[in-house]
Amino acid sequence: MNRVLDLAILGLLMDRDHHGYEIRAQLRDRLGLWSNVSFGSIYPALARLEREGFVEAVAAEVKLASLSTGSLSGERATLRALRPAPALGRKGRKVYRITDRGREQFALLISDPATLDDSKSFSLRMALARYLTPSLRVGLLEQRRANLAQRLFEMRQQAKTDDLDGYARSVMEHGAKAVELEISWVDDLLASERNNQQPLAREAN
Amino acid sequence: MNRVLDLAILGLLMDRDHHGYEIRAQLRDRLGLWSNVSFGSIYPALARLEREGFVEAVAAEVKLASLSTGSLSGERATLRALRPAPALGRKGRKVYRITDRGREQFALLISDPATLDDSKSFSLRMALARYLTPSLRVGLLEQRRANLAQRLFEMRQQAKTDDLDGYARSVMEHGAKAVELEISWVDDLLASERNNQQPLAREAN
DNA sequence: GCACGATATATCGATCTGATATAATGAATC
DNA sequence: GATTCATTATATCAGATCGATATATCGTGC
């Protein structure tokens, strides 16, 4: 049921085809999901998305022995490609492509305002914001801002409660500052959204 | 294998006895672990800690009908307390106390410098920092600072890579700013650690 | 030739999440 | 004093995630 990883993977596949290993790197380098997502999440998620018809495997890219093919290596490559069961071969990357149903699902997931609670999923949406219409973007930003303002208030309250020692209080105060920083980020995004003199999105495909 | 929740629970029990429901609230309000930890984590974790001998259940606090006890309510309470199997009763809070072995385990977990990678576990340690010796505190802070500096460098690099659109870049830049904020927090803590004119910790216990 | 690090997929057990079930308590309303 | 309702409280389930490990190929350097 975790839509976050589904959204992230589909978002990457909107851009171009990818295989699992690459998806992990892109999650880190382009979508801001550091603390590397484990392979134990990636591969099951891809299998799930395929099962649901949102992505399809577009033939394992079996690396042929470059140009000078000795008969032996050629034969081995053929053997590997023909082998019946073991899931398109040991090795040989399995490249995935998003389907039409996958695109629909992506549009659904990215514009769903229900799951906007945590920083991680919000950042992910922003990293994919070029796929949203301007009005949806503003809507999500405003809702996130409201959430953060509420949270800031709560954290301020907590930081004031008396039975905290200095360290615990310091943690709460830092937490509040982090929320403030995110609020000012959202405000910047909203500002550049409203007077979109310098649009943040390049052409979305 | 997740030591983080174990550390958090043992940390709370160092202070005083708690039952599961209360632990969840304290995790949020005193240890800065918002985005409420689910009960599906808390109760199994307590069972695990009990199985390993780090905590013990100190009799379910069966709420007796306050002062004016009608015979009926008294009888019901007795019946509930005597019922044989179902794990100290439906309802009636199960209060846990930390054992000596639990204290040892806590000391071990909180001073382990290996698992200092993410913000969440670092914040948790800081919320419990009064249980650390000054030198261990400084050690953890310095190591965290080094981690963050490395990370800041990486994020700066990523924000500069060319094939990002404006939104993705904005995410990366905000991420870098968040790391900077945490670095300055760590620096503040280190400073007040070194000239501990106003010690952050009140009496530990 | 061959050692080694990077690329790549897959799977396992332990754990975590989000949802749901169950039930007692306390307070307000009638 | 009956009834509704939110809060307190424990427990469990399916599905998802993590961290570790296994396996194998590719590319580079020696």
Chain segment A14-40, per-residue pLDDT in tens: 999 999 999 999 999 899 887 889 999
At residue B198, what is the residue type?
Q
**In A, which residues are within 8 Å of B174 by CB distance?**
123, 181-182, 185
For residue A154, the number of C-alpha atoms closer than 13 Å in the C-beta half-sphere is: 13
Among A51-55, A59-63, B98-102, name the one with the lowest average pLDDT: A59-63
What pLDDT, on the 0 to 100 scale, is given for residue B79?
Answer: 35
Among A24-28, A53-57, A59-63, A168-172, name the one with the lowest average pLDDT: A59-63
A151, A172, A185: residue with CB nearest B32:
A172
Give B112-119 contacts, CB < 8 A, sequence gap 24+. B112/B3, B113/B139, B113/B140, B113/B143, B115/B3, B115/B4, B116/B140, B116/B143, B116/B144, B116/B147, B117/A35, B117/B147, B118/A35, B119/B182
Confidence of residue A91 (pLDDT cuts 50, 70, 90): low
What pLDDT, on the 0 to 100 scale, is given for residue A142?
Answer: 94
- Strand D contacted by A60 CB (< 7 A): no
Chain length of chain B: 205
Confidence of residue A68 (pLDDT cuts 50, 70, 90): very low
Contact B183, B141 (CB under 8 A): no
Residue in chain B closest to A179 (alpha carbons) equals B178
| Structure tokens that stand for B176 in this block | 């870098």
CA distances from B57 to B17, B39, B84 (A): 9, 17, 17
Contact A4, A121 (CB under 8 A): yes
B27, pLDDT greater than 90:
yes
- Strand D contacted by B19 CB (< 7 A): yes
B77, pLDDT greater than 80:
no
Confidence of residue A78 (pLDDT cuts 50, 70, 90): very low
Phi-psi region of A58 (alpha: psi -120 to 50; beta: other; left: phi over 0): beta
Confidence of residue A100 (pLDDT cuts 50, 70, 90): very high
What is the average pLDDT score of chain A? 82
Question: What phi, psi does B31 have (nearest 5°)?
Answer: -105, 0
Q: A6 at the B interface (CB within 8 A)?
A: no
A176, pLDDT greater than 60:
yes
Please write the tens of the pLDDT for every residue from B36-66: 899 999 999 999 999 999 999 987 655 443 3
What pLDDT, on the 0 to 100 scale, is given for residue A81?
Answer: 37
**In B, which residues are within 8 Å of A201 by CB distance?**
165-167
- Strand D contacted by A48 CB (< 7 A): yes
What pLDDT, on the 0 to 100 scale, is given for residue A79?
Answer: 35
Count, in order, helices (H) and strands (E) of chain A.
Answer: 8, 3
Q: B130 at the A interface (CB within 8 A)?
A: yes
Phi-psi region of A203 (alpha: psi -120 to 50; beta: other; left: phi over 0): beta
Q: What percent of chain B has pLDDT over 90?
A: 58
| Structure tokens that stand for B60 in this block | 């379910």
Q: A138 at the B interface (CB within 8 A)?
A: no
Confidence of residue B1 (pLDDT cuts 50, 70, 90): low
Q: Which residues 141-200 of B are in CB contact (within 8 Å) with A?
A: 151, 158, 161, 163-168, 170-172, 174-175, 177-178, 181-182, 185, 188-189, 198-200
What pLDDT, on the 0 to 100 scale, is given for residue B118?
Answer: 86
Residue B148: Cβ within 10 Å count: 20
A195, pLDDT greater than 90:
no
Classify strands B93-98 and A18-19 as parallel, antiparallel or unpaired.
unpaired
Q: Which of A123, A7, A192 is nearest to B177 (CA)?
A: A123
**In A, which residues are within 8 Å of B167 by CB distance?**
126-130, 200-201
